[in-house]
Structure 1
């Protein structure tokens, strides 16, 4: 038979002292913190500047108005090996590329949208008639050249659009091109299979 337990037990209610952290704990933590770059990236000031940048990009400077009748704005756009000559004038939204409609010339919707992006962002698709002659390159290069040309022509139409167009990268000539093939290599950098014997 188990012995009876006395109910008059003095329970010590003092909290047990915890072990103090080792002296080099801060150094250990710093060792891991140097790889954690999120704290620096997500500082409130950085987030706020990012949000203001986005707000400036999204909001066009002002509502576009149709230019005077008979006034034509010309610009050249380039991308990769493609070159586009763009003529912009007031109208009802007709866009002709090499005497074809935009839909006929660029059957892929993604490429069509990329080509007229500056107009779309400024909500001016129905205010201008655009005639384009483009040569060289493929669909992507030609769409980039047209986009560059439209942006430069819009800048001639209204100089106040410069900040908006520049901020969104429409005025920047994209200088990236395919790197040339080298002698003794299969492509620009790919070398033939190496064999010791």
Structure 2
């Protein structure tokens, strides 16, 4: 299933943006394509099935968490474009995007999504490397002689 097989319109989809670490995911939940999960990677332009792309079942379950929290499993499909970061960060970015898109679909989902802590952005970012140091915190070894 590719994007060219269906159209994304405001009538059949809802949009949400998710971010995590260096990853950004633009997510559309599709009403008329239930259980179709497609990910497009911006760096390569290729489209993948979500389960194949995230590789681990735990990451796939994490992406599906907003659907479980709102009781909408099997009612929506996902089309997401991701860029930056690694697969784990991208999966969490998709999860946040799905939660925001579900909120755009129905504002009554706010309570279960907040209870499941799916609307709070995880703001942890990589700390920058400082000059005269090995990394962000690690220092070079000091030698007296």
Question: Rg: which structure is higher?
Answer: 1
Contact 2:16/2:100 (8 A) holds in 1: yes
TM-score, normalization by structure 1 = 0.62
**Which residue is 1:157 aligned to?**
105
Higher normalized strand content (fraction of residues): 2
Alignment of structure 1 residues 2-151 onto 2, 5 Å: 70-90=11-31, 91-98=33-40, 99-151=47-99
Q: How far, CA to CA, are the matches of 2:60 and 2:73 in structure 1?
A: 13
Q: How far, CA to CA, are the matches of 1:103 and 1:179 in structure 2?
A: 31
In the comparison of the two structures, how many residue pairs are matched? Answer: 129
Which runs of no fewer than 5 residues in structure 1 stay unpaired? Answer: 1-68
- Residue 120 of structure 1 deviates from its aligned partner by 2.6
Q: Helix, strand or coil for the counterpart of 1:92?
A: coil
Q: Helix, strand or coil for the counterpart of 1:116?
A: helix
- Residue 123 of structure 1 deviates from its aligned partner by 3.3
**Any runs of at least 4 consecutive aligned residues in structure 1 with deviations exceeding 6 A, and if so which?**
none
- Residue 122 of structure 1 deviates from its aligned partner by 2.8
Q: 1:174 to 1:140 in 2, by over 3 A?
A: same
Bigger shift: residues 76-85 or 160-169: 160-169
C-alpha RMSD over aligned residues: 1.5
- Per-residue CA distance 1:140-190 (angstroms, 9 max, x = gap): 110110010000000011101112112221111111011110001101000
- Per-residue CA distance 1:13-52 (angstroms, 9 max, x = gap): xxxxxxxxxxxxxxxxxxxxxxxxxxxxxxxxxxxxxxxx
